[in-house]
């Protein structure tokens, strides 16, 4: 029997009805984070971006903790134990406001907390994870160095044994939340390969300097970490960490959040462009009525929905335990590029207004420069996908 009822017209805000595939629990997470983000973050984010900092990172951490998004996908130790799709939706709704705010949550939950959760001792987990989940302690993750970015295996930070102690020397660069962190997870080369260390702020020899003059991710604190003869007890090492694969597995968790986050930034830019195009009049009619504008909106809505479907597909694979790191590379590569295209087109639809902080589009556009760079640059993910499909590595 064929059904002759006319299907409903697509919703311009969810054209392919991707969100109709969410469970009730996932929809509840989406709505809770969206409401919080629109009420508490959106009204302030342009000012934070213009100031080039987060004025109250501790208050923000506490608010994220109360919302339940810090380490929400981790099990136990005060963490939420949510599914991967639910966590992704939280990232999407936060990044629809600003990539810097999603970065705060990603670095805390998927890098610093995930490293302690995966590789830490029971004592380390018990000491740090409940406080970090509640937003009472801020964590950072120090892998990148001034001379070691895409190739972290070339790091110069060293940890050497001195009796039962460890002594760390080196410099980490571009570390999100470094200068406001209570604890840094620092990766260092040892005689046993690369290992992770839990470094509480205030340890003698450890200092952090904020990076200024950024033109991207301005509503986020970025820092240099300096380690000069930092002496740590034997139990500061993450006992389960062994080799470069350990930090890379954390990065894979965080870049999963980027897959969703980029879809959120893209959606925000498209929605701003649609609203602007319908209300802005030139030549006696809304600019939405011009074919060239409609072409931009059509390209945008396709990119936004492709990104949403990609995120949901990878999220479902992850919830089934089937997400390979190459799937996550695919998602980061595809969705960040899509978001960059959407942001650039949305900015042009806004004309001169598009270059101001009165509208979100250029803020997203410049943030996406960072998102395309960190946690594996666009080129590095292209090489991962290239290796996955050809079986041939072109990394070196
Ligand atoms: C705002 C911000 C926040 C950050 N937060 C953190 C953090 O919290 N913790 C942390 O550890 N790091 C962080 N990073 C660092 C980030 O992960 C690195 O910037 C990134 O890994 C790239 O390294 P790089 O900047 O040294 O670039 P490089 O590795 O020097 O790359 C420069 C260019 O060369 C290209 N390239 C490199 N190798 C190849 C190759 N084999 N083939 C083709 N092209 C290649 C790159 O794709 C890029 O285009 C952050 C960065 C920014 C901007």
pLDDT for 284-300, tens place per residue? 999 999 999 999 999 99
By alpha-carbon position, which residue is closest to atom 24 of ligand 1? 149
Q: What is the pLDDT of residue 59?
A: 98
Q: What is the pLDDT of residue 2?
A: 61
Mean pLDDT of 84-111: 98
Ligand 1 centroid vs 260 CA: distance in angstroms? 20
Q: How many CA atoms lie within 13 A of 251 on its CB side?
A: 22
| pLDDT beyond 60 at 53 | yes
Q: How confident is the model at residue 5 (pLDDT cuts 50, 70, 90)?
A: confident
| pLDDT beyond 60 at 1 | no
By alpha-carbon position, which residue is closest to atom 40 of ligand 1? 395
Ligand 1 centroid vs 148 CA: distance in angstroms? 8
Ligand 1 centroid vs 68 CA: distance in angstroms? 30
Residues 6 or more apart in contact with residue 280 via CB below 8 angstroms = 286, 287, 351
The dihedral region occupied by 231, where left means phi > 0, alpha psi between -120 and 50, and beta the remainder, is: beta
Class of domain 18-133: mainly alpha
Ranges in the chain annotated CATH 1.20.140.10: 245-390
Q: What is the pLDDT of residue 334?
A: 98
**Which of 371, 373, 382 is the pocket-test mutation for ligand 1 (most atoms within 8 Å of CB)?**
373
Residues with CB under 6 A from ligand 1: 107, 141-144, 149-150, 174-176, 217, 222, 370, 373-375, 377, 379-380, 383, 395
CATH architecture of the domain 245-390 equals Up-down Bundle (1.20)
Ligand 1 centroid vs 372 CA: distance in angstroms? 9
pLDDT digits (tens, 9 = 90+) for 315-368: 999 999 999 999 999 999 999 999 999 999 999 999 999 999 999 999 999 999
Ligand 1 centroid vs 369 CA: distance in angstroms? 11
Atom of ligand 1 nearest to the CA of 377: 47
pLDDT digits (tens, 9 = 90+) for 117-174: 999 999 999 999 999 999 999 999 999 999 999 999 999 999 999 999 999 999 999 9
The share of the chain scoring above pLDDT 70, in percent, equals 99
Atom of ligand 1 nearest to the CA of 380: 47
Ranges in the chain annotated CATH 1.10.540.10: 18-133
pLDDT digits (tens, 9 = 90+) for 209-259: 999 999 999 999 999 999 999 999 999 999 999 999 999 999 999 999 999
**Which of 54, 99, 174, 194 is the pocket-test mutation for ligand 1 (most atoms within 8 Å of CB)?**
174
Q: Which CATH superfamily is domain 139-236 in?
A: Butyryl-CoA Dehydrogenase, subunit A, domain 2 (2.40.110.10)
Mean pLDDT of 77-104: 98
Ranges in the chain annotated CATH 2.40.110.10: 139-236
In the residue annotation, 375 being an active-site residue is answered as yes
């Amino acid at each position: 029997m064929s059904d002759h009822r006319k299907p409903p017209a697509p919703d311009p805000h969810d054209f392919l009805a991707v969100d109709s595939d969410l469970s009730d629990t996932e929809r509840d997470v989406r709505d809770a984070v969206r409401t919080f983000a629109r009420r508490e973050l959106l009204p302030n984010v342009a000012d934070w971006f213009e100031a080039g900092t987060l004025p109250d990172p501790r208050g923000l951490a506490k608010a994220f903790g109360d919302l339940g998004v810090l380490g929400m996908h981790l099990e136990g130790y005060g963490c939420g134990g949510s599914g991967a799709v639910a966590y992704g939706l939280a990232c999407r709704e936060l990044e629809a406001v600003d990539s810097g705010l999603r970065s705060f949550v990603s670095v805390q939950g998927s890098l610093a907390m995930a490293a302690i959760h995966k590789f830490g001792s029971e004592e380390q987990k018990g000491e740090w994870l409940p406080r970090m989940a509640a937003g009472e302690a801020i964590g950072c993750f120090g892998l990148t160095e001034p001379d070691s970015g895409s190739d972290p295996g070339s790091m110069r930070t060293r940890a050497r044994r001195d009796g039962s102690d460890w002594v760390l020397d080196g410099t980490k660069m571009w570390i999100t939340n470094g200068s406001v962190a209570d604890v840094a997870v620092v990766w260092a080369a040892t005689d046993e390969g690369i290992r992770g260390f839990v470094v509480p702020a205030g340890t003698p020899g450890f200092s952090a300097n904020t990076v200024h003059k950024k033109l991207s991710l301005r509503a986020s604190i970025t820092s240099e970490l300096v380690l000069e003869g930092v002496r740590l007890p034997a139990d500061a090492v993450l006992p389960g960490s062994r080799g470069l694969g350990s930090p890379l597995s954390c990065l894979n968790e965080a870049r999963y959040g980027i897959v969703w986050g980029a879809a959120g930034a893209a959606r925000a830019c498209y929605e701003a462009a649609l609203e602007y195009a319908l209300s802005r009049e030139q030549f006696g009619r809304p600019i939405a009525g011009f074919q060239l504008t409609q072409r931009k909106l059509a390209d945008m809505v396709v990119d936004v929905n492709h990104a949403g479907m990609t995120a949901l597909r990878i999220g479902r694979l992850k919830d089934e335990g089937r997400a390979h790191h190459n799937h996550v590379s695919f998602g980061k590569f595809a969705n960040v590029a899509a978001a960059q295209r959407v942001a650039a087109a949305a900015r042009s639809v806004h004309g001169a207004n598009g270059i101001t902080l009165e509208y979100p589009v250029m803020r997203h556009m410049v943030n996406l420069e960072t998102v395309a760079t960190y946690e594996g640059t666009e080129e590095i993910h292209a090489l991962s996908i290239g290796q996955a499909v050809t079986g041939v590595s072109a990394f070196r």
